[in-house]
Structure 1
Amino acid sequence: MSRITTAVWSRPEAERVGTTLVVALHGRGSDESSMLGLATLLPDAATLVAPRGPVPVDGGWTWFENRGIGRPLESSIKETAAALLEWLGTVEEQHTRIVLLGFSGGAAMSGGLLFSAADRFAGAVLLSGTLPWDAGLEAPEGLLSGMPVFWGNDPADPVIPAELMARSRRWLVEESGADLAEHTYRGMGHGISAEEGRDIAAFLTGVAAES
């Protein structure tokens, strides 16, 4: 059974009470330290936590085994989703709301959490990735009704298969019911540009300010 055993925080525990919790999920082959720098994008009313994926891969970590880029194995992503939700249950009480922020494989994992328990989250930031299609997770119409969702990518991303990104965009725009903020960054590649960082900061400020 997968477990979340390591996480880094942007502020000490005594300063987290009453803040919005932003859960930052790293990409495949990376680790939690790669996400901590995103704390600079957060408003004062938010705390960032970056857990480590439970599956070792390529000298780093990931959230699930896959059958190709952006294509999780059903048993693996479901196991990790359960582990993340269990872990969140141990830290969420002191926070006013939880927002997901996932990059690349972390975006797919964020999608897995939304598909598994959308009601646990107040928003999501999905960066340079795809939602986890064909992995045994339900994505009914209206699942994210009214939820603020940031969707940012470069249409020419050299890593994520174009058909998966297109399918994800179509669902987010046409079926999810999300209050979608779609951002396109041509020439950015597979990463997070300074412009995108500024847009993320504005988005998170808005979500954290909601009552």
Structure 2
Amino acid sequence: MTFTVPPVVATRGDSGRPLVVLLHGRGSRESEIIALADALPPEFDYTAVRAPIAEHGGFAWFANRGIGRPVAASLRETMDWFRAWLDRVAPQGRPVFLVGFSGGAAFAGGLLLDDPARYAGTAVLSGTLPFDAGLSTGPGTLNGARVFVAQGDHDQVIPRELLDRTWDFLSVGSGAVTTARRDPVGHTIAPDALAALGEWLRDGTPSDPDDSAPLAH
């Protein structure tokens, strides 16, 4: 399967400010996850992207060989498609943050592993990194990259072994600068985690000393 058309997107703001790209979970769509923008800091532009693979009334980022385990060739194809779009709408120099939930978290993690320097930060919410999918996950792979991880203690969707492996890799082995939290919820985003995500976004945005209204504090 080859994807040749730009993704369907939903937006909140289009001012050229730092861009937060919201990536929905498997079986969902952009019109659902864009609602997160209403609870996140207003000093960003937000774009929610529809995954390219139609599945069960919604959309998916990659073919699976099991929950949380992407088919490597499928992941590579969709990542290349996404990057072609992203590099058009947000040229190098404009800060880009990825915020992925569930299957979108695995996709965001794949994009991060593929090119860590491209992103100002990556949030992995209720999801796993795409281990064993053709991307390097060796020690120091993400040296210096900013990552936010939020998991639910009672998540019954993503296999616990993958949640734990993601937590351990991002917190210890990857070299990333990671903010990680677990909340007493299931496969969802806890309100406190959403608030912490907002602060993490703000903290990762460089302020402009010549701007009378800096974007970060």
Write out aligned runs for 1:100-111 (5 A).
Answer: 100-111=98-109
Q: CA deviation at 1:210?
A: 5.1
Higher relative CO (Cα under 8 Å, sequence separation at least 6) belongs to: 1
Write out aligned runs for 1:125-164 (5 A).
Answer: 125-164=123-162
Runs of 4+ in 1 over 3 A off after TM superposition: none
Q: CA RMSD in A?
A: 1.6
Aligned partner of 1:174 in structure 2 is: 172
Aligned partner of 2:188 in structure 1 is: 191
CA distance in 1: counterparts of 2:93 and 2:24, whole angstroms: 21
Aligned partner of 2:10 in structure 1 is: 8
Q: Amino acid of the residue matched to residue 9 of structure 1?
A: T
CA distance in 2: counterparts of 1:88 and 1:74, whole angstroms: 21
2:105–2:128 CA contact under 8 A, matched in 1: yes
CA distance in 2: counterparts of 1:45 and 1:60, whole angstroms: 30
Aligned partner of 2:118 in structure 1 is: 120
**DSSP 3-state at the match of 2:205:** helix
**DSSP 3-state at the match of 1:93:** coil
List alignment gaps of at least 5 residues for structure 1. none
Q: Amino acid of the residue matched to residue 2 of structure 1?
A: F
1:45–1:208 CA contact under 8 A, matched in 2: no
**Greater mean alpha carbon deviation, residues 140-149 or residues 65-74:** 140-149
Q: CA deviation at 1:135?
A: 0.9
Aligned partner of 2:215 in structure 1 is: none
Aligned match of 1:49 in 44, 47, 50?
47
CA distance in 2: counterparts of 1:133 and 1:155, whole angstroms: 21
Aligned partner of 2:199 in structure 1 is: 202
List alignment gaps of at least 5 residues for structure 2. 209-217
Q: Could you tell me the percent identity over the aligned residues? A: 39
TM-score by length of 2: 0.90
CA distance in 2: counterparts of 1:57 and 1:90, whole angstroms: 27
CA distance in 2: counterparts of 1:47 and 1:95, whole angstroms: 15
**Greater mean alpha carbon deviation, residues 192-201 or residues 96-105:** 192-201
Paired residues in the alignment total 206
**DSSP 3-state at the match of 2:149:** strand
1:41–1:200 CA contact under 8 A, matched in 2: no
CA distance in 2: counterparts of 1:115 and 1:147, whole angstroms: 10
CA distance in 1: counterparts of 2:205 and 2:39, whole angstroms: 12
Write out aligned runs for 1:26-37 (5 A).
Answer: 26-37=24-35
2:63–2:71 CA contact under 8 A, matched in 1: yes
**Greater mean alpha carbon deviation, residues 36-45 or residues 51-60:** 36-45
CA distance in 1: counterparts of 2:138 and 2:81, whole angstroms: 23
